[in-house]
């Protein structure tokens, strides 16, 4: 019988925001737990984010409602993407942060606390109408704070996954005068945690992390203060997309990251019996992530 090649699903453009703050001299990251019935990374803690909506691509409108001009957008956030394309990712990132975390990276000419409270009530009610965000910003004369975003990481979901995303992860400092709160629809819980404690919570099963979240918390461990992180973020470029290899096992799966020595080999031999003994402690560098009973864990290569 002649075999047929199944074309992998297209990776949908998506954007995410890593919200950071310094609390009691400790760098903390805001994590959101996806609903247990979510179609992707169900029950995992992630950063606020989602796919780009058609309204996010209305460049003629958005260019007049952001705090950077096209040249600055391209130089600060672009790289492999031009101003128009990266603006759509930036808009989506800010919109998703409002929808899922209740934090609005924007300013209004005559901003009042009541305006932010009204927006929060709207998104918590759920069933937001199409292009609600575009209409909100234009009618309220809001200005999106693109200048608050930094480039951090570019990820593409492995080809063997049923749902695939081409995601730009931005980094942003928590704005003063606002607080994070999950929407209780797509997101069921939110917490501030240090990168090291987040990684430890994942190993214990108390804070189950998605693989990209694990990798980025591991990257953030080396920044002791918010000032150190902001200094590194200012010059950060997108770099090459991080697209792990997925290897399905009889029980669970294994992700091989691009920096793993065997990533580029045609065939990678995996002895599933040895995976349990290859588990690594929190904070230890890793290049492989093992899905054991639904929990993604760092292991040695």
- Which domains are seen in the chain, by residue range? 12-238 (3.90.79.10), 244-301 (no CATH)
Looking at residue 20, what is its pLDDT?
Answer: 98
Q: Minimal CA–CA distance to 191: which of 3, 12, 31, 19?
A: 31
Looking at residue 123, what is its pLDDT?
Answer: 84
- R_g (Cα) of the chain, nearest Å: 20
pLDDT in tens, 66-125: 999 999 999 999 999 999 999 999 999 999 999 999 999 998 766 666 788 888 888 888
What single-letter DSSP state applies at residue 58?
A: -
pTM of the model: 0.94
Give dist(CA 120, CA 24) in Å, integer.
Answer: 27
pLDDT in tens, 3-62: 446 677 899 999 999 999 999 999 999 999 998 787 778 899 999 999 999 999 999 999
Looking at residue 7, what is its pLDDT?
Answer: 76
Looking at residue 3, what is its pLDDT?
Answer: 43
Looking at residue 121, what is its pLDDT?
Answer: 84
Looking at residue 127, what is its pLDDT?
Answer: 76
pLDDT in tens, 189-229: 999 999 999 999 999 999 999 999 999 999 999 999 999 99
Give dist(CA 171, CA 105) in Å, integer.
Answer: 12
Indicate if the pLDDT at residue 296 is higher than 70. yes
Looking at residue 53, what is its pLDDT?
Answer: 96
Give dist(CA 169, CA 237) in Å, integer.
Answer: 11
pLDDT in tens, 249-266: 988 999 999 999 999 999
Q: Minimal CA–CA distance to 98: which of 145, 163, 164?
A: 145
Work out the average pLDDT over 160-186: 92
Looking at residue 111, what is its pLDDT?
Answer: 66
Work out the average pLDDT over 137-147: 93
Phi, psi of 9 (to 5 degrees): -65, 150
Q: How confident is the model at residue 2 (pLDDT cuts 50, 70, 90)?
A: very low
Work out the average pLDDT over 171-190: 91
């Amino acid at each position: 019988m002649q075999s047929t090649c199944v074309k992998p699903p297209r990776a949908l453009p998506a954007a995410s925001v890593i919200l950071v703050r310094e609390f009691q001299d400790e760098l903390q990251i805001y994590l959101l737990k996806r609903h247990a019935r979510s179609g992707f990374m169900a029950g995992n803690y992630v950063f606020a984010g989602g796919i780009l909506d058609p309204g996010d691509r209305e460049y003629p409108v958005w260019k007049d409602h952001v705090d950077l001009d096209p040249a600055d957008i391209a130089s600060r956030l672009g790289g492999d993407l031009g101003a128009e394309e990266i603006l759509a990712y930036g808009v989506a990132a800010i919109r998703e942060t409002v929808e899922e975390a209740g934090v609005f990276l924007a300013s209004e000419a005559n901003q009042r606390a009541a305006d932010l409270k009204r927006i929060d009530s709207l998104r918590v009610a759920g069933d937001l109408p199409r292009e609600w965000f575009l209409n909100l910003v234009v009618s309220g004369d809001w200005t999106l704070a693109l200048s608050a975003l930094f480039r951090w990481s570019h990820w593409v979901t492995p080809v063997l996954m049923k749902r695939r995303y081409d995601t730009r992860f931005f980094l942003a400092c928590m704005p003063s005068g606002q607080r994070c709160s999950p929407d209780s629809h797509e997101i069921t819980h939110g917490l501030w945690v240090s990168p090291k404690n987040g990684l430890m919570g994942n190993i214990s099963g108390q804070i189950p992390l998605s693989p990209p979240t694990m990798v980025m918390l591991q990257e953030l461990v080396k920044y002791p203060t918010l000032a150190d992180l902001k200094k590194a973020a200012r010059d950060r470029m997108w770099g090459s997309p991080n697209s792990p290899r997925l290897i399905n096992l009889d029980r669970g799966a294994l992700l091989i990251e691009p920096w793993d020595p065997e990533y580029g080999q045609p065939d990678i031999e995996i002895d599933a019996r040895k995976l349990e003994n290859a588990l690594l402690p929190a904070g230890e560098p890793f290049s492989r992530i093992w899905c054991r009973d639904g929990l993604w864990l760092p292991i040695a290569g």
